[in-house]
Amino acid sequence: MGYNRLMSILLAMLLGLVQGLCEFLPVSSSGHLVLLQNIFGVEEGALFFDTMLHVGTLFAVFAVYWRSIWEMLRHPLQKKVGMLLLATALTAALAVLCRDLISEAYGGAFLGLGFVATACILYLSERALGIRAKTSHGIEEMTPKSALGIGLMQGVAILPGISRSGSTIAGARFFGLDKGAAAEFSFLLSIPAILGSVVLQVPDVLEAGMGSLSWGPLLAGMAVAAGSGYLAIRWMLRLIKTKSLLGFSIYTGTLGVLVLFDQLVTHVFF
């Protein structure tokens, strides 16, 4: 195996690891991918590669929630399905309306602000908007207003740097879901969100193509994204029930300040 091919595979695996972990931890996978692609100068085939890494993380959700998914497929008229569809519909509408802004954002122009926004969302979720355990409830007690609110939070998180999982978990907690239900709803909501983003990107992917990207690095990246995503979901499910998310707030806030400093002052990567 040549040096360049080996380095391509290692870089693809690194990006797959980042995508898998950051998709389900409240730190923004798209933001980290944009950041790393700027650092390593990845341009050719970047959009196609990002899309396929997101597909890889879907396997992680299916592996963890296959029983819930199978139950929803068997009984599609249950309330959980309706709430997921309602939240997804609002997110999809926002994605279509703001498509040009989203394309511009993936160049990294708003990345620093996105990370700072994630830090603020997580902080407010823990400090100001926390729901007491005695007043919280499960998915079956959700209202359409709650689903729309969570869908709105997910729509905002389309922008790189703003965490999808962090925003939807924070939104779900604000609307009264207990910690376990908030995490489950967020991770199940990632299925139509990721599938929808893939569909929206198909025209751009077909136009841009794979560039110099080959199937070896692509499959390696997808495999690592799936494996690390599985571990991230399992860890997050344990973490959210017993620990605070303030550590992630500090991390994304610090990262956001560093990115803003580079964007405004040093211009090393942006």
Task: Write the pLDDT tens digit of every residue in 118-131.
Answer: 999 999 888 755 54
* Structural domains of the chain, count: 1
94 contacts 158 by C-beta, under 8 angstroms: yes
Burial 134-143 (b: 16+ CB within 10 A, else e): eebeebeebe
Q: What is the pLDDT of residue 222?
A: 93
Q: How many CB atoms lie within 10 A of CB 54?
A: 24
Q: Residue for token digits 């090393």?
A: 268
Rounded to a whole number, what is the distance in angstroms from the first to the last CA of the chain?
Answer: 33
Domain range enclosing 236: 3-266
pLDDT, tens only, 219-240 = 999 999 999 999 999 999 888 8
Share of the chain above pLDDT 90, in %: 48
Q: What is the pLDDT of residue 1?
A: 47
What Cα–Cα distance (Å) separates residue 123 from each residue in 30, 149, 240? 20, 18, 14
- The span from the CA of 142 to the CA of 78, in Å, is 12
pTM for the full predicted model: 0.86
